[in-house]
Chains A and B, each alone.
Chain A
Amino acid sequence: EVQLVESGGGLVQPGGSLRLSCAASGFTFSDHYMDWVRQAPGKGLEWVGRTRNKVNFYTTDYAASVKGRFIISRDDSKNSLYLQMNSLKTEDTAFYYCARAHCSGGSCSLDCWGQGTLVTVSS
């Protein structure tokens, strides 16, 4: 069974840092691009960023709202994805989901999602 399990969420003060983890199982993690998506409570989905696979040199892309503050990394030996969040702002408060990208025919979509972890940025 394909499974993604996020952890590391919690309460953090503005300006602080937090590191989220996503443990993957049930598929060949190293083959896939992996993404982070967030959702503020009661709001819509917002893409955070992506890491590509080894074949594509683990390159990353970020949404403008987090670029320069957030870093996505992965450890294929541990089947794990990470999101390092720095200089956190109150508007970063959201559920954070990791998601597997299914890429074919020149496009990708997110075909498996974790259950999400809540990050609250507040003083």
Chain B
Amino acid sequence: SYELTQPPSVSVSPGQTASITCSGDKLGNKYASWYQQKPGQSPVLVTYQDNKRPSGIPERFSGSNSGNTATLTISGTQAMDEADYYCQAWDSSTGYVFGTGTKVTVL
């Protein structure tokens, strides 16, 4: 089955850039999406089709996908960005696959 691997945690200072990686076999050949989930809340889509943002998502969130790695970048990180982040891709054999999740801490 297809798997997506993320680092368990990422720490970032306010105003700095946070990068969260998502690794999977030939992930660059698929479209990747990213979701943000704050404690006690439902997930929210922050990027889709590798690098598109839904309406209402701040410009500081951007995505990229190439080779075996997709990356979510948060520029000018704010305290409100502290959350769990999950990547996601569709695999023809497995269906939707979510990454293992990354906890972003804004120190």
Which of A44, A64, A113 contacts B42 (CB under 8 A)? A113
Q: Which of A1-55 contact B (CB under 8 A)?
A: 35, 37, 44-47, 49-50
Q: How large is the interface on B (under 10, 10 to 19, 20 to 34, 35 or more residues)?
A: 20 to 34
Q: Beyond A44-B101, A49-B95, A109-B33, is A64–B1 a contact (Cβ under 8 Å)? A: yes
- Is B66 in the interface zone, CB < 8 Å from A? no
**A47, B96: Cβ atoms closer than 8 Å:** yes
> Interface of chain B, helix or strand or loop or mixed?
strand
The distance from the CB of A37 to the nearest CB of chain B, in whole angstroms, is 8
Which of B42, B88, B90 contacts A97 (CB under 8 A)? B42
- Is B73 in the interface zone, CB < 8 Å from A? no
**B49, A45: Cβ atoms closer than 8 Å:** no
A64 to B42, CA, bound (A): 24
Binds B, one of A75-83, A86-94, A99-107: A99-107
A17 to B43, CA, bound (A): 26
**B43, A107: Cβ atoms closer than 8 Å:** no
Q: Beyond A97-B42, A111-B54, A113-B44, is A62–B49 a contact (Cβ under 8 Å)? A: no
